[in-house]
């Protein structure tokens, strides 16, 4: 944005756009200053000549030295009574030919993208995971499979098995989708990167059912927070046994627990409602009934509510896995022409031009004018 500093237009435009006038002046000064002239560095007189550098490079490519570090090459040549250059010069010559890197074959981990999932209603995003339950003896376990709706926190499917396998997950998911009548192509299923979650059988199953697959980043438990939290809730229950005598004992306890969890547990993350109330569309009625009760309490004892009228915990509206972080960015380009420059303010994108800045400065009215007079 380029504005002539006449009639206090710069100050008025800065006041209207919420930008410091010093930033504009600093950018103008940088662009108005003459460009720095960079002179090529003269070649040092002590530097190796081109043939000498090529001789060192050929030596480093020799069969006896091709897999050795420059320090090893340097020491070996010294023991043989030969000196060409220093170790650092060898590195410089290799760097000039793009040969300075880790010579050993090492595994390069790919950059995994952070999952960002949004659920604004039930049956949009499910999360699933597997946890171990201790069996009757040491080193014996049962495996609990749990599918959770992240919006309502309702457990939509679970089973206990004596093995961890993708084949055991298929009937569980089929039953859950059929029971809740999830439309084709609506559901996203999120999981970590365990073997059953990444198995080819699981991927083919989700493709057949029209379910979008999502995975956490490796070793990032916070990418699957709802399943992890649900397992913690289960294992921190006072009635949770240290060991299960058999798989039927585990199924009996979990049948009772999940019935209580879905029907009676008031979840703090969904406004102290039960998962069933949110999952089956009863949240509005429950919220209004709670508000009515609080209104009665306010009429009976107004002295107890000093700051504001009481309200129940907010209803769930949207649930995120890794909500995107939006950082406002502001910049001014003090170019000589009215070139368009985008500005990001929160989630909106504003195109600031010379004409737009003048119009906003005039629309700001007396407040912007008084601010400009104060700044000038």
Q: Which tens digits make up the pLDDT trace of 334-371? A: 333 443 444 444 333 333 333 344 444 444 444 443 44
Radius of gyration of the chain (CA): 34
Task: Read off the pLDDT of each residue in 20-26 and give the average, rounded to a whole number.
Answer: 88
Name the 3-class secondary structure at 170: helix
Other residues' Cβ atoms within 10 Å of the Cβ of residue 11: 22
Report whether pLDDT(17) > 90.
Answer: no
Q: Are residues 63 and 205 in the same domain?
A: no
Q: What tokens appear for 65 in the block? A: 């030295």
Choice between 155 and 105, residue whose per-residue pLDDT is larger:
155
Provide the domain count of the chain.
3
Q: Are residues 263 and 356 in the same domain?
A: no
Per 3-state DSSP, what percentage of the chain is helix, strand, and coil (rounded to 5)? 45, 15, 45
**Residue at 291 is within a domain:** no
Q: Select from 240, 270, 300 the last residue of a domain.
A: 270
pLDDT of residue 150: 97
Q: Select from 214, 240, 270 the last residue of a domain.
A: 270
pLDDT of residue 16: 86
Q: Are residues 88 and 145 in the same domain?
A: no
The b/e string for 198-213 (b: 16+ C-beta within 10 A; e otherwise) is eeeebeebbeebebee
CATH of the domain at 168: 3.30.420.10
According to DSSP, residue 220 is labeled -
pLDDT confidence of 38, banded at 50, 70, 90? confident
pLDDT confidence of 104, banded at 50, 70, 90? low
Burial class (CB in 10 A: 0-12, 13-18, 19+), 322: middle
**Residue at 80 is within a domain:** yes
Q: Are residues 16 and 85 in the same domain?
A: no
Q: Are residues 221 and 356 in the same domain?
A: no
Distances, alpha carbon 139 to alpha carbons 132, 133, 135, 143, in Å: 11, 11, 8, 13
pLDDT tens column, 246-270: 999 999 999 999 999 999 999 999 9
Tally of CA atoms within 13 A in the half-sphere of 155 that contains its CB: 28
Q: Are residues 177 and 243 in the same domain?
A: yes
Q: Are residues 169 and 246 in the same domain?
A: yes
Degrees, nearest 5: CA angle 180-182-183: 150
Q: Are residues 90 and 123 in the same domain?
A: no
Q: Are residues 137 and 234 in the same domain?
A: yes
Q: Are residues 91 and 125 in the same domain?
A: no
According to DSSP, residue 267 is labeled B
Strongest mean pLDDT among 2-6, 9-13, 310-314, 344-348: 310-314
Q: Are residues 257 and 129 in the same domain?
A: yes
Structural domain containing residue 356: 9-31+334-375
Q: Residues 279, 152: contact at Cβ < 8 Å?
A: yes
**Residue at 226 is within a domain:** yes
pLDDT confidence of 84, banded at 50, 70, 90? very high
**Residue at 174 is within a domain:** yes
Degrees, nearest 5: CA angle 352-358-359: 90
Instruction: Give me the phi and psi of 37, to 5 degrees please.
Output: -95, 120
Beta bridge partners of 320: 118
Q: Select from 254, 270, 286 the last residue of a domain.
A: 270
**Residue at 83 is within a domain:** yes
Task: Please tell me the pTM assigned to this model.
Answer: 0.63
Distances, alpha carbon 96 to alpha carbons 59, 83, 93, 183, 337, in Å: 15, 21, 5, 59, 41
Of the given ranges (84-88, 103-107, 158-162, 266-270), which has the lowest mean pLDDT? Answer: 103-107
**Residue at 124 is within a domain:** yes
**Residue at 198 is within a domain:** yes
CA–CA separation, 289 vs 196, rounded Å? 44
Report whether pLDDT(202) > 60.
Answer: yes
Q: Are residues 201 and 131 in the same domain?
A: yes
**Residue at 197 is within a domain:** yes
């Amino acid at each position: 944005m380029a504005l002539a500093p006449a009639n206090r237009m710069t100050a008025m435009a800065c006041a209207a756009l919420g930008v410091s006038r010093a930033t504009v002046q600093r950018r103008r000064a940088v662009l108005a200053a003459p460009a720095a002239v960079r002179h090529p560095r003269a070649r040092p007189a002590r530097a190796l000549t081109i043939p000498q550098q090529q001789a060192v490079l050929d030596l480093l490519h020799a069969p006896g030295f091709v897999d050795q570090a420059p320090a090893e090459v340097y020491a070996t040549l010294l023991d043989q009574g030969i000196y060409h250059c220093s170790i650092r010069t060898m590195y410089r010559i290799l760097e000039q030919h793009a040969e300075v890197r880790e010579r050993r074959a090492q595994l390069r981990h790919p950059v995994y993208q952070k999952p960002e999932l949004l659920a604004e209603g039930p049956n949009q995003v499910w999360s699933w995971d597997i946890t171990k339950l201790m069996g009757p003896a040491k080193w014996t376990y049962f495996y609990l499979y749990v599918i959770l709706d992240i919006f309502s926190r309702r457990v939509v499917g679970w089973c206990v098995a004596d093995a961890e396998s993708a084949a055991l997950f298929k009937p569980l998911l089929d039953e859950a989708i059929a029971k809740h009548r999830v439309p084709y192509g609506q559901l996203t299923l999120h999981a970590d990167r365990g073997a059953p979650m990444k198995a080819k059988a699981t991927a083919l199953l989700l493709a057949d059912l029209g379910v979008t697959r999502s995975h956490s980043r490796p070793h990032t438990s916070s990418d699957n927070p709802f399943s992890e939290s649900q397992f913690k809730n289960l294992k921190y229950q006072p009635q949770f046994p240290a060991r299960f005598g058999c798989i039927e004992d585990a199924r009996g306890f979990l049948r009772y627990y999940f019935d209580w969890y879905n029907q009676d547990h008031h979840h703090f993350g969904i406004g102290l409602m039960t998962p069933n109330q949110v999952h089956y569309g009863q949240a509005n009625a429950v919220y209004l009934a709670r508000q009515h009760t609080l209104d009665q309490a306010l009429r009976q004892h107004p002295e107890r509510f000093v700051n504001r009228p009481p309200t129940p915990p907010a209803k769930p509206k949207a649930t995120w896995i890794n909500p995107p972080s939006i950082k406002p960015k502001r910049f001014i380009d003090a170019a000589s022409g009215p070139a368009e420059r985008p500005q990001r303010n929160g989630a909106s994108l504003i195109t600031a031009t010379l004409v737009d800045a003048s119009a906003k400065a005039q629309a700001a009215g007396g407040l912007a004018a008084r601010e400009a007079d104060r700044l000038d």
